Amino acid sequence: MANVAVIGAQWGDEGKGKVVDWLASRADIVVRFQGGHNAGHTLVVGNETYKLSLLPSGLVRGKLGIIGNGVVVDPEALLAEIDRVRAQGLPVGPESLRIAENATLILPLHGALDRARETARGDARIGTTGRGIGPAYEDKVARRAIRVCDLAEPDTLSAKLDELLLHHNTLLAGLGAETFAKQALLERLLSLAPRLLPYAEPVWQRLDEARRAGRRILFEGAQAVLLDVDHGTYPFVTSSNTVAATAAAGAGVGPGAVGFVLGIAKAYSTRVGAGPFPTELFDATGQLLGDRGHEFGTVTGRRRRCGWFDAALVRQAVKVAGIQGLALTKLDVLDGLAELKIATGYRIGAERFRHLPAAPGAQAAAVPEYETVEGWAGSTRGARSWADLPAQAVKYVRRIEELVEAPVTLLSTSPERDDTILVRDPFEG
């Protein structure tokens, strides 16, 4: 029996929510290991719709949720989310949620800096969620971050705030933004401490015990491989590693504990925020994909950019993240299109590439090379077996498998949980 890591294989919003929810119902523990409340998904259980940003989705299924050390935690956003889901009848408390004592905190000054920088970038902005994710990770790597455990030591907290504010207030003032007063920040953090500390513990110990007891662990990724700070379309990326290997470091387990790596990909491509998107469509087809796919960001509410499936980029994601199986989502959005295109590589000037080179100039200049595939007239929506799918739709999926060099182990054919074709159970390894 394997553990499973679920990660996005494109630029996020691949429909992870449904797949993670299904997997969470079969797991014992669900662990978030990177990102913060920049993520977002909607889970529909019975008559309730839960919108989660930071809480591991397993909580909705009554499973133990763990927020690993690799996550950046905004304490106020977390407590507000806990209050929200509690008000919906979900009993979230220290018995169902554990937070790594060594996780980094996002403070109000991080969001302020994130937004001030984006404003200063003008047209060159990254399109961040403005939630302070990048600045919090910067502080972590610079060794000046406030961590969950610091809330238990007022003296440590006070000294660390001095260093932090020296840095941030200088930056904020330089950007013409409001600065922060130490005492107010200290008091705010100390007032949150009694509500947060009961959740804190060395989660690596609990995970070690769970592993030895044969419990099933689901590692729930946020964002996606093309937003990875190393492997994505840098600098238009998020500030964490989103590849499956991060599940180990971001939770405190060895690489062997991560188990099966399931990548989620849409049957086409979308992106929120700025940055290279070689297969982006600016025509009526792009509009149609956006309308049919309801392509609006859960966190940002912004309309997502839409385009053809980019097999070259997904293949790259498969390789760098070690994806062993793909969950392909939203195939039904392509129903009825006369023909479909799949990018197999790029032309940059006179040169041809099977991958997207790292240099920003090359990424911006990359022109996709397409393979055209016949569309299908029938509907794929709600299909629960291969036999329910039009023959051309099966061909499209098979071609994707060949090009990305990974099998489709799960096909999702509508937002409904049971409208899924399961080829291989990821927990069986």
For residue 131, what are its two tokens? 């939630």
Out of 32, 110, 117, 131, the residue judged to bind ligand IMP by CB under 6 A: 131
Catalytic site includes residue 231: no
Stretch that binds ligand IMP, among 20-28, 71-79, 120-128, 182-190 (CB under 6 A): 120-128
Report in angstroms how near the CB of residue 274 gets to ligand IMP at its nearest. Answer: 6
Out of 2, 90, 126, 362, the residue judged to bind ligand IMP by CB under 6 A: 126
Q: Which helix (H) or strand (E) holds 288?
A: helix 284-292
Q: Rg of the chain over CA atoms, in angstroms?
A: 22
Task: Work out whether 330 is an interface residue with ligand IMP (CB under 6 A).
Answer: no
Q: Rounded distance, CA 123 to CA 108, Å?
A: 25
Residue 49 or residue 205: which is nearer to ligand IMP going by CB? 49
Residue 10 or residue 380: which is nearer to ligand IMP going by CB? 10
Residue with tokens 């182990």: 409
Question: Which residue is catalytic, options 37, 41, 168, 231?
Answer: 41
Cβ(246)–Cβ(257) below 8 Å: no
Residues between 216 and 235 with contacts to ligand IMP, criterion CB under 6 A: 222-223, 227
267's CB contacts (< 8 A; 6+ apart) are: 309, 328, 329, 330, 331, 333, 334, 396, 400
Size of the site for ligand IMP (CB under 6 A): 20
Task: Work out whether 112 is an interface residue with ligand IMP (CB under 6 A).
Answer: no
Task: Work out whether 12 is an interface residue with ligand IMP (CB under 6 A).
Answer: yes
Q: Rounded distance, CA 109 to CA 179, Å?
A: 8
- Count other Cβ atoms within 10 Å, centred on residue 235: 12
Task: Work out whether 329 is an interface residue with ligand IMP (CB under 6 A).
Answer: no
Q: Rounded distance, CA 369 to CA 308, Å?
A: 11
Stretch that binds ligand IMP, among 124-132, 157-165, 183-191, 360-368 (CB under 6 A): 124-132
Task: Work out whether 39 is an interface residue with ligand IMP (CB under 6 A).
Answer: yes
Q: Which residues lie across from 305 on neighbouring strands?
A: 271
353-362 contacts at long range (C-beta below 8 A, 24 or more positions apart): 353/312, 354/312, 354/315, 355/312, 355/315, 355/316, 356/233, 356/276, 356/278, 356/312, 356/313, 356/316, 358/234, 360/234, 360/235, 360/276
Residues between 370 and 389 with contacts to ligand IMP, criterion CB under 6 A: none
Residue 73 or residue 393: which is nearer to ligand IMP going by CB? 73
> 339-348 and 351-353 as β-strands: parallel, antiparallel, unpaired?
antiparallel
Task: Work out whether 128 is an interface residue with ligand IMP (CB under 6 A).
Answer: yes
Residue closest to ligand IMP (Cβ): 273
Residue 207 or residue 222: which is nearer to ligand IMP going by CB? 222
Q: Give residue 317's identity as a one-letter amino acid code.
A: A
Task: Work out whether 40 is an interface residue with ligand IMP (CB under 6 A).
Answer: yes
Report in angstroms how near the CB of residue 175 gets to ligand IMP at its nearest. Answer: 17
Catalytic site includes residue 37: no
Task: Work out whether 272 is an interface residue with ligand IMP (CB under 6 A).
Answer: yes
Q: Count CA within 13 A, CB hemisphere, residue 198.
A: 10
Out of 3, 10, 239, 380, the residue judged to bind ligand IMP by CB under 6 A: 239
For residue 249, what are its two tokens? 């470091």
Q: Rounded distance, CA 356 to CA 231, Å?
A: 11
Task: Work out whether 129 is an interface residue with ligand IMP (CB under 6 A).
Answer: yes
Stretch that binds ligand IMP, among 126-134, 191-199, 200-208, 247-255 (CB under 6 A): 126-134
Stretch that binds ligand IMP, among 130-138, 147-155, 211-219, 373-381 (CB under 6 A): 130-138
Active site residues: 13, 41
Provide the binding-site residues for ligand IMP, judged by CB under 6 A.
Answer: 12-13, 38-40, 126-129, 131, 133-134, 222-223, 227, 236, 238-239, 272-273
